[in-house]
Amino acid sequence: MMDDHSSESPKTPLISIGAAIVVVLLVPVLLYSVGPEGPLKVGDVVFSTDRHRVKFVDATLAQTQGYQEFCILESRVQLVVQSTEPITGGTVVAEPIGVETNEVPYCPPRTSVFLHPYQATLKANIWGGLRDTVSKFVSR
C-alpha cells in the first residue's frame, strides 16, 4: 500500500523565495544610504536635501526672466556642481538639471546658483523618493 503522505506533491517555498528576493534587493539600498559621502567635485551630480532658497550667480540674468535675486530649490532636485572653490563662505556653484517647471519662484533649469554644503548631498534621499512613489499609487 502507498502512504498518503508520499502521494502529495511537495509545496513550493514561495514565501522564503520572496523573502530572499526582498533581502537581495534591499541590501544594496541600505548599504548605499548608510555609506559615507565624499567631498564635492566639479561635475558631480548632487541632490538638494530639502526645499531651499538659493541665490543666482548672475542676478541680472535672473531678473530679466522675472526672478528676484533668489529662487526656490525643491527637495531632491538634481544639480551638477560647476565650481567648488570657496567663493563666499564655503558655497559651491551648481546648476539644476532635474527641474521640470520653469515658473517663478522655482529655480529654472540650467541656471547657476550658489549652494551651501548643507543644502546638497551626493546621495539621493531613497526613502523619501520611495515614500512619494508609494503615496502616488495609494492616492489614486
pLDDT digits (tens, 9 = 90+) for 10-30: 667 888 899 999 999 988 877
Name the nearest CA neighbour of 70 among 40, 98, 111. Answer: 111
Model pTM greater than 0.95?
A: no
Separation CA 73–CA 99 (nearest Å) = 9
State residue 11 phi and psi, 5-degree precision.
-80, 145
pLDDT at position 37? 77
Q: Considering only CA atoms, which of 68, 140, 138 is closest in space to residue 108? A: 68
**Residue ranges of the chain with per-residue pLDDT less than 70:** 1-11, 86-89
CA atoms within 13 A on the CB side of 117: 12
